[in-house]
Amino acid sequence: MSKIDENVDYKEEILRLKKEKNAVILAHYYQVGAIQEIADFVGDSLALSKQAAGTDANIIVFAGVHFMAETAKIVNPSKKVLLPDLNAGCSLSESCNAADFEVFRAKHPGYLAVTYINCSAEVKALSDIICTSSNARKIIESIPKDQPILFSPDRNLGKYLIEVTGRNLLLWDGACMVHEAFSFEKLVALQKKHPNAKVVAHPESETNILRLAHFIGSTSAMLDFVKSDLCQEFLIATEAGILHQMMKEVPDKILIPVPAKENNTCACSECPYMKMNTMQKLYECLLNESPEITLDAILISKALVPLEHMFELSK
């Protein structure tokens, strides 16, 4: 990475290059505010994958993490897909490597593999149906009750799904390092200080946090809830990037991020992978058309099948 050039107006240059190259910038809610502001579309994992599938731009710049950019390539393989920092991974995706997942599947013949979108293309290719936090419940409920299911890789989302659907899912033992880090004690203390506040949590959070939540949903669903609910104060248990859109949508409401266990300085939780993308990297990746996501054509065709099942089942 080259050093910051103070003569470059990154915002202006990104907008110019985007137009010149017919590129679209898709950003997840956990990106820094400046990237969310310059993006053509900001959304949760499901909405971003749909945008990627439907775009007629020549280049998709994915301001998110690696599995999201890979998903964009799988659903729209003729496009050039760029990721500002190739090291922008995901602890959940990394907790589930394809070789171990293949063994897990082989040990459980007759099970259907429903896999969270936070996984590699190889793991997707070994799965039956992909889901995101916004459609996981609907997808599990669409599967016949006598069909045994493997749910991977997020054990917290899996436990939540077991609770709300009453299904006996066999879980992979993975977790999101950001959503697992919320402190139950600090949340209880915050609730005492703000007795009228509603707790809003992402289902990747641990069960003790979810038990205190008034609303559980994907990043987009949390945003909708905060917008539509009459309550004026919310304790937000997800990555702090969502506060950018929330503060824009509900400037008069009080939004308090739930602190992490080990976090004594900053009052919020940030995903170190999501925050690897910067305006400078976004500019350089558009300028150089690199780093690019490339995937083997056979892998793309195999990984597309469970993603198409997801699109079909979440209509």
Residues that bind ligand 13P (CB under 6 A): 44-45, 90, 118, 132-134, 176, 204, 218-219
18 binds, among ligand SF4, ligand 13P, none (CB under 5 to 8 A by kind): none
Q: Which is nearer to ligand 13P, 111 or 311 (CB)?
A: 311
Q: Is 91 in the site for ligand SF4 (CB under 6 A)?
A: yes
How wide is the angle at C-alpha 124 spanned by C-alphas 122 and 129, nearest 5°? 160
Q: Is 172 in the site for ligand SF4 (CB under 6 A)?
A: no
133 binds, among ligand 13P, ligand SF4, none (CB under 5 to 8 A by kind): ligand 13P
Q: Is 117 in the site for ligand SF4 (CB under 6 A)?
A: no
Minimum distance, C-beta of residue 205 to ligand 13P, in the bound complex (Å) = 10
In the sheet with 23-28, reading across from the earlier edge strand, the strands are: 41-43, 23-28, 59-63, 80-82
Q: Which is nearer to ligand 13P, 95 or 283 (CB)?
A: 95
Q: Is 26 in the site for ligand SF4 (CB under 6 A)?
A: no
Q: Which is nearer to ligand 13P, 57 or 242 (CB)?
A: 242
- Which listed residue (29, 62, 101, 273) binds ligand SF4 by CB under 6 A? 273
177 binds, among ligand 13P, ligand SF4, none (CB under 5 to 8 A by kind): ligand SF4
Considering only 47-55, 186-194, 248-256, 269-277, which stretch makes contact with ligand SF4 by CB under 6 A?
A: 269-277
Minimum distance, C-beta of residue 109 to ligand 13P, in the bound complex (Å) = 30
23 binds, among ligand 13P, ligand SF4, none (CB under 5 to 8 A by kind): none
Q: Is 95 in the site for ligand SF4 (CB under 6 A)?
A: no
Q: How many CB atoms lie within 10 A of CB 79?
A: 20
Q: Report the interface residues with ligand SF4, using CB under 6 A.
A: 30, 65, 90-92, 118, 176-179, 204, 239, 271, 273-274
